[in-house]
């Protein structure tokens, strides 16, 4: 079950045992660099580098990664096209010939920058999502003092997503077996039933889970045993590597600051 989910990859990739703080800091700092860059060069380098890490270091199947990548990519492309046409004033670099529409240099540069930043940021997050199990992230969140109640809710939600996913899949198969999805009208109806049924199930399950927790002396607050590891567990070697990498990226940002395609 769930072989093709992010969670499964997060638990079974080749970078799983790499220090969690290292991965989190690496992803977030790189994303920030990608965001502050004023030229599309560095974000694109970041996107390539991160994709390289994901496919060759973490050994995520490239087919899965491409599929995963396709959604933000197409969204980004759409944004790029619209910005190129509708944003900016000044010299026209390409006349479209209909409705007096034209691509302006200004708009093109801006659109491309947004597109590049988006890919850069997305690949950073993808790296984090595909290499770091949620269970590890919870302890990082604890360290940065996310309110306890939010964390508890997140933990419960994370656990029960899979319980309900399992139920939903079973219900879906059961409906399919009885031809519930053989036409559009039937599909809509079946989907609706599945949704409402699932809602009732969550209600009942919540009740059950509460009884089970009460049986283990639950008194309204979840105490977790694990103290978050110190950020020092990352090691000086990793820290040095990280700083070096980010500094060279920032230098890249500085050098290419005025780079423009048009």
Partner 1 sequence: MNIIKTNDITYNYPDGTEALKNVNFKAEEGKIVALLGPNGAGKSTLFLHFNGILRPSSGSILIDDEEINYHKKDLMKVRQKVGIVFQNPDDQLFAPTVIEDVAFGPMNLGLPREEVEKRVDESLKRVGMEEYKKKAPHHLSGGQKKRVAIAGILAMKPKIMVLDEPTSGLDPKGASQILRLLYDLNKEGMTIIISTHDVDLVPLYAYTVYIISEGKIIKKGSPKEVFEDIKTIRDANLRLPRIAHLMEILQKEDRLPFDKPYPLTIGEARRKLKDHLED
SS3 of residue 102 by DSSP? strand
Letters for 78-117 (x = contact with partner 1 by CB under 8 A, - = none) are ----------------------------------------
- Tell me how far apart the terminal alpha carbons of the chain are, to the nearest angstrom: 50
Among 58-66, 108-116, 123-131, 133-141, the segment contacting partner 1 (CB under 8 A): 133-141
- Which member of 4, 100, 215, 236 binds partner 1 (CB under 8 A)? 215
CA–CA dist 152, 154 (Å, integer): 5
Q: Is residue 119 a contact partner of residue 76, using CB atoms and an 8 Å limit?
A: yes
In 3D, which of 160, 161, 148, 158 has the Cα closest to residue 228? 148
Among 86-94, 141-149, 152-160, 245-253, the segment contacting partner 1 (CB under 8 A): 152-160
- Which member of 98, 147, 219, 232 binds partner 1 (CB under 8 A)? 219
Both tokens of residue 11? 């638990």
Q: Is residue 113 a contact partner of residue 41, using CB atoms and an 8 Å limit?
A: no
Q: Which residue matches tokens 């423009």?
A: 260
- Binding of partner 1 by 77 (CB under 8 A): no
- Binding of partner 1 by 223 (CB under 8 A): yes
- Which member of 7, 102, 110, 229 binds partner 1 (CB under 8 A)? 7
Among 58-66, 183-191, 222-230, 254-262, the segment contacting partner 1 (CB under 8 A): 222-230
Give 246's DSSP letter: H
Q: Is residue 60 a contact partner of residue 9, using CB atoms and an 8 Å limit?
A: yes
Among 56-64, 72-80, 104-112, 212-220, the segment contacting partner 1 (CB under 8 A): 212-220
CA–CA dist 65, 86 (Å, integer): 32
Binding residues (CB under 8 A) for partner 1: these are 1-2, 7-8, 11, 133-135, 138, 155-156, 158-160, 162-163, 166, 205, 208-209, 211-219, 222-227
């Amino acid at each position: 079950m769930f072989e093709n989910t992010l969670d499964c990859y997060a638990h079974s990739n080749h970078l799983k045992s790499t220090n969690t703080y290292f991965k989190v800091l690496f992803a977030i700092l790189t994303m920030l660099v990608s965001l502050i860059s004023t030229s599309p060069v560095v974000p694109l380098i970041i996107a390539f580098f991160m994709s390289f890490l994901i496919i060759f270091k973490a050994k995520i199947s490239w087919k899965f990664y491409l599929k995963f990548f396709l959604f933000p990519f197409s969204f980004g492309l759409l944004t790029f096209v619209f910005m190129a046409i509708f944003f900016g004033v000044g010299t026209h670099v390409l006349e479209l010939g209909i409705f007096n529409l034209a691509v302006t240099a200004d708009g093109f540069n801006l659109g491309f920058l947004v597109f590049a930043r988006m890919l850069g940021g997305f690949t950073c997050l993808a790296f984090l999502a595909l290499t770091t199990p949620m269970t590890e992230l919870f302890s990082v969140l604890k360290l940065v003092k996310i309110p306890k109640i939010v964390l508890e809710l997140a933990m419960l939600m994370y656990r029960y997503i899979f319980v309900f996913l399992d139920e939903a899949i079973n219900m879906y198969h059961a409906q399919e077996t009885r031809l519930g999805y053989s036409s559009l009208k039937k599909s809509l109806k079946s989907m609706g039933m599945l949704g409402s049924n699932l809602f009732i199930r969550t209600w009942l399950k919540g009740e059950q889970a509460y009884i089970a927790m009460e049986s283990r002396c639950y008194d309204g607050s979840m105490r977790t045993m694990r103290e978050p590891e110190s950020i020092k567990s990352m090691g000086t070697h990793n820290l040095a590597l990280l700083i070096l990498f980010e500094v060279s990226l920032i230098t890249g940002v500085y050098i290419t600051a005025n780079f423009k395609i048009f």
